[in-house]
Amino acid sequence: MFLFDNAISMPARIVGMIEADVPIVHLDRTIFHPTTGSQRADRGCIGSAQVLAVAFDGGEISHYVNSSNGLEVGAEITLQLDQDWRHLQSAYHSAGHLIASAMRQIDQRCTVLFGQHYPDQAALTLHSANQIKEGHIKELNDLLQHFIEQNLIVDIGLESGTRYVRFGGLEAIPCNGTHVDTTGELEKIDVIRHEYDGERLRLYYVTYNRT
Ligand SMILES: [Zn+2]
Protein backbone atom coordinates (compact mmCIF):
# COMPACT_ATOMS: atom_id res chain seq x y z
CA MET A 1 0.00 0.00 0.00
CA PHE A 2 2.83 2.41 0.82
CA LEU A 3 3.93 2.04 -2.78
CA PHE A 4 1.34 4.41 -4.25
CA ASP A 5 -0.14 6.31 -1.41
CA ASN A 6 0.95 8.93 1.09
CA ALA A 7 -1.91 8.03 3.48
CA ILE A 8 -0.96 8.41 7.14
CA SER A 9 -3.88 6.44 8.63
CA MET A 10 -5.72 3.35 7.41
CA PRO A 11 -7.69 0.38 8.75
CA ALA A 12 -6.16 -3.06 8.30
CA ARG A 13 -6.68 -6.63 9.48
CA ILE A 14 -4.16 -8.61 11.49
CA VAL A 15 -3.40 -11.80 9.54
CA GLY A 16 -0.55 -13.15 11.66
CA MET A 17 1.26 -12.61 14.95
CA ILE A 18 4.47 -13.97 16.41
CA GLU A 19 4.72 -13.71 20.19
CA ALA A 20 8.23 -12.81 21.32
CA ASP A 21 10.00 -10.27 23.53
CA VAL A 22 9.32 -7.92 20.65
CA PRO A 23 6.06 -9.23 19.13
CA ILE A 24 5.70 -9.24 15.33
CA VAL A 25 2.46 -8.33 13.55
CA HIS A 26 1.57 -9.18 9.95
CA LEU A 27 -1.25 -7.24 8.26
CA ASP A 28 -3.40 -7.75 5.17
CA ARG A 29 -2.18 -4.32 3.99
CA THR A 30 0.04 -1.63 5.43
CA ILE A 31 1.11 1.99 5.15
CA PHE A 32 4.36 1.34 7.06
CA HIS A 33 7.43 1.58 4.86
CA PRO A 34 10.06 -0.96 5.91
CA THR A 35 13.66 -0.07 6.61
CA THR A 36 15.95 -0.26 3.59
CA GLY A 37 19.58 0.52 3.02
CA SER A 38 18.56 3.92 1.77
CA GLN A 39 15.64 4.93 3.97
CA ARG A 40 14.67 4.53 7.62
CA ALA A 41 11.45 2.67 8.50
CA ASP A 42 8.24 4.44 9.38
CA ARG A 43 7.21 4.94 12.98
CA GLY A 44 3.70 5.02 14.38
CA CYS A 45 1.04 2.80 15.96
CA ILE A 46 -0.96 -0.35 15.21
CA GLY A 47 -4.01 0.06 17.41
CA SER A 48 -2.50 1.13 20.73
CA ALA A 49 0.80 -0.69 20.12
CA GLN A 50 3.84 1.33 19.20
CA VAL A 51 5.71 0.23 16.07
CA LEU A 52 9.42 -0.13 16.92
CA ALA A 53 10.71 -1.43 13.59
CA VAL A 54 9.41 -2.47 10.17
CA ALA A 55 11.25 -4.98 8.00
CA PHE A 56 10.68 -6.78 4.73
CA ASP A 57 11.15 -10.40 5.85
CA GLY A 58 10.79 -13.32 3.46
CA GLY A 59 8.32 -11.63 1.13
CA GLU A 60 6.14 -9.95 3.76
CA ILE A 61 6.33 -6.87 5.91
CA SER A 62 6.93 -7.54 9.61
CA HIS A 63 5.87 -4.88 12.11
CA TYR A 64 7.79 -5.14 15.40
CA VAL A 65 5.68 -3.71 18.23
CA ASN A 66 6.24 -2.85 21.90
CA SER A 67 3.27 -4.93 23.12
CA SER A 68 0.74 -7.41 21.76
CA ASN A 69 -1.92 -6.29 24.26
CA GLY A 70 -5.20 -5.78 22.42
CA LEU A 71 -3.89 -7.29 19.18
CA GLU A 72 -5.13 -10.62 17.85
CA VAL A 73 -5.30 -12.38 14.52
CA GLY A 74 -8.45 -11.45 12.61
CA ALA A 75 -8.90 -8.11 14.39
CA GLU A 76 -9.54 -4.92 12.40
CA ILE A 77 -7.26 -2.20 13.74
CA THR A 78 -6.19 1.30 12.78
CA LEU A 79 -2.70 2.00 11.46
CA GLN A 80 -1.37 5.44 12.27
CA LEU A 81 1.93 6.79 10.98
CA ASP A 82 4.06 9.30 12.82
CA GLN A 83 3.39 12.00 10.24
CA ASP A 84 6.32 14.30 11.06
CA TRP A 85 8.77 11.40 10.93
CA ARG A 86 7.36 10.19 7.57
CA HIS A 87 7.56 13.69 6.10
CA LEU A 88 11.18 13.98 7.17
CA GLN A 89 12.11 10.61 5.60
CA SER A 90 10.24 11.53 2.40
CA ALA A 91 11.98 14.91 2.27
CA TYR A 92 15.46 13.38 2.60
CA HIS A 93 14.71 10.60 0.15
CA SER A 94 13.28 13.05 -2.41
CA ALA A 95 16.23 15.39 -1.97
CA GLY A 96 18.51 12.48 -2.89
CA HIS A 97 16.71 12.09 -6.24
CA LEU A 98 16.93 15.81 -6.93
CA ILE A 99 20.66 15.93 -6.13
CA ALA A 100 21.22 13.03 -8.56
CA SER A 101 19.28 14.86 -11.30
CA ALA A 102 21.11 18.13 -10.65
CA MET A 103 24.48 16.35 -10.69
CA ARG A 104 23.71 14.83 -14.09
CA GLN A 105 23.18 18.34 -15.43
CA ILE A 106 26.64 19.29 -14.18
CA ASP A 107 28.45 16.05 -15.06
CA GLN A 108 26.42 14.15 -17.67
CA ARG A 109 28.47 11.00 -17.33
CA CYS A 110 28.12 10.60 -13.57
CA THR A 111 26.04 7.68 -12.28
CA VAL A 112 24.45 7.11 -8.89
CA LEU A 113 25.96 4.19 -6.97
CA PHE A 114 23.79 4.42 -3.85
CA GLY A 115 21.99 6.83 -1.59
CA GLN A 116 21.69 6.85 2.16
CA HIS A 117 18.81 9.19 2.91
CA TYR A 118 19.07 9.14 6.71
CA PRO A 119 18.26 12.56 8.15
CA ASP A 120 21.27 12.66 10.49
CA GLN A 121 23.81 11.33 7.97
CA ALA A 122 22.44 11.77 4.47
CA ALA A 123 24.80 11.22 1.56
CA LEU A 124 24.60 10.34 -2.11
CA THR A 125 27.46 8.36 -3.63
CA LEU A 126 28.16 8.63 -7.36
CA HIS A 127 30.70 7.52 -9.88
CA SER A 128 32.11 10.74 -11.29
CA ALA A 129 35.30 10.67 -13.33
CA ASN A 130 35.34 14.46 -13.64
CA GLN A 131 36.65 15.98 -10.44
CA ILE A 132 34.05 18.55 -9.48
CA LYS A 133 35.16 21.72 -7.72
CA GLU A 134 33.68 24.01 -5.08
CA GLY A 135 32.22 26.13 -7.89
CA HIS A 136 30.27 23.08 -9.05
CA ILE A 137 28.80 22.63 -5.56
CA LYS A 138 27.50 26.20 -5.71
CA GLU A 139 26.04 25.45 -9.15
CA LEU A 140 24.53 22.23 -7.77
CA ASN A 141 22.87 24.02 -4.84
CA ASP A 142 21.53 26.72 -7.18
CA LEU A 143 19.99 24.01 -9.41
CA LEU A 144 18.41 22.36 -6.36
CA GLN A 145 16.90 25.68 -5.32
CA HIS A 146 15.57 26.03 -8.87
CA PHE A 147 13.89 22.58 -8.66
CA ILE A 148 12.22 23.67 -5.41
CA GLU A 149 11.04 26.98 -6.85
CA GLN A 150 9.56 25.15 -9.87
CA ASN A 151 7.36 23.18 -7.41
CA LEU A 152 7.71 20.02 -9.54
CA ILE A 153 4.88 17.50 -9.19
CA VAL A 154 6.07 14.05 -8.15
CA ASP A 155 4.51 11.31 -10.26
CA ILE A 156 4.55 7.67 -9.14
CA GLY A 157 3.62 4.89 -11.55
CA LEU A 158 4.34 1.45 -12.91
CA GLU A 159 6.26 0.66 -16.08
CA SER A 160 6.61 -3.03 -17.04
CA GLY A 161 5.93 -4.05 -13.44
CA THR A 162 8.55 -1.69 -11.99
CA ARG A 163 7.54 1.21 -9.78
CA TYR A 164 9.07 4.48 -10.90
CA VAL A 165 9.13 8.05 -9.63
CA ARG A 166 9.41 11.16 -11.78
CA PHE A 167 9.90 14.74 -10.57
CA GLY A 168 8.21 17.06 -13.10
CA GLY A 169 9.93 16.67 -16.46
CA LEU A 170 13.05 15.03 -15.00
CA GLU A 171 13.94 11.43 -15.84
CA ALA A 172 11.88 8.52 -14.42
CA ILE A 173 13.80 6.52 -11.79
CA PRO A 174 12.89 3.03 -10.51
CA CYS A 175 12.25 3.43 -6.78
CA ASN A 176 10.24 1.93 -3.90
CA GLY A 177 10.80 4.73 -1.39
CA THR A 178 8.48 7.44 -0.06
CA HIS A 179 8.46 10.92 -1.59
CA VAL A 180 7.06 14.41 -1.19
CA ASP A 181 4.05 15.24 -3.41
CA THR A 182 5.72 18.34 -4.86
CA THR A 183 9.22 19.76 -4.55
CA GLY A 184 7.71 22.94 -3.10
CA GLU A 185 7.21 21.02 0.16
CA LEU A 186 10.96 21.39 0.64
CA GLU A 187 12.33 24.62 2.05
CA LYS A 188 15.89 24.03 0.95
CA ILE A 189 18.38 21.35 -0.06
CA ASP A 190 22.00 22.02 0.79
CA VAL A 191 24.95 19.93 -0.34
CA ILE A 192 27.21 20.78 2.56
CA ARG A 193 30.34 18.77 1.78
CA HIS A 194 31.83 16.57 -0.91
CA GLU A 195 34.69 14.11 -0.93
CA TYR A 196 36.35 11.91 -3.51
CA ASP A 197 37.65 8.38 -3.10
CA GLY A 198 39.22 7.81 -6.50
CA GLU A 199 36.34 8.37 -8.94
CA ARG A 200 33.76 7.77 -6.24
CA LEU A 201 32.16 11.04 -5.19
CA ARG A 202 30.19 11.36 -1.98
CA LEU A 203 27.88 14.34 -1.51
CA TYR A 204 26.69 15.02 2.04
CA TYR A 205 23.48 16.98 2.30
CA VAL A 206 20.75 18.35 4.52
CA THR A 207 17.20 19.35 3.65
CA TYR A 208 14.35 21.07 5.42
CA ASN A 209 10.59 20.74 5.12
CA ARG A 210 8.58 23.89 4.63
CA THR A 211 6.46 24.29 7.77
ZN1 LIG B 1 12.64 7.39 -4.46
CA distance 121 to 25: 30
- Cα–Cα dist 93/117, whole Å: 5
**43 alpha carbon – ligand 1 mean position (Å):** 18
Please tell me the distance between residue 202's alpha carbon and the centre of ligand 1 in angstroms: 18
What does the pLDDT profile of the chain (211 residues) look like in tens digits? 455 567 899 999 999 999 999 999 999 999 999 998 889 999 999 999 999 999 998 889 999 999 999 999 999 999 999 999 999 999 999 999 999 999 999 999 999 999 999 998 999 999 998 888 888 999 999 999 999 999 999 999 988 889 999 999 999 999 989 999 999 999 999 999 999 999 999 999 999 988 7
Whether residue 92 sits in one domain with residue 77: no
CA–centroid distance, 97 to ligand 1, in Å, is 6
Same structural domain, 114 and 189: yes
* Cα(56) to centroid(ligand 1), Å: 17
Residue 77 lies inside a defined structural domain of this protein: yes
For residue 4, the model assigns a pLDDT of: 53
CA distance 28 to 108: 43
**Structural domain for 160, as ranges:** 85-209
How confident is the model at residue 1, as a pLDDT? 47
* ipTM field: 0.99
Q: Are residues 41 and 89 in the same domain?
A: no
CA–centroid distance, residue 94 to ligand 1 (Å) = 6
* The pLDDT of residue 172: 92
Q: Is 4 domain-assigned?
A: no
End-to-end CA distance of the chain: 26
Last residue of a domain, one of 65, 81, 97: 81
Q: How far is the CA of 175 from the centre of ligand 1 (A)?
A: 5
Together in a domain, 100 and 192: yes
pLDDT at position 197, please? Answer: 93
Total number of domains in the chain: 2
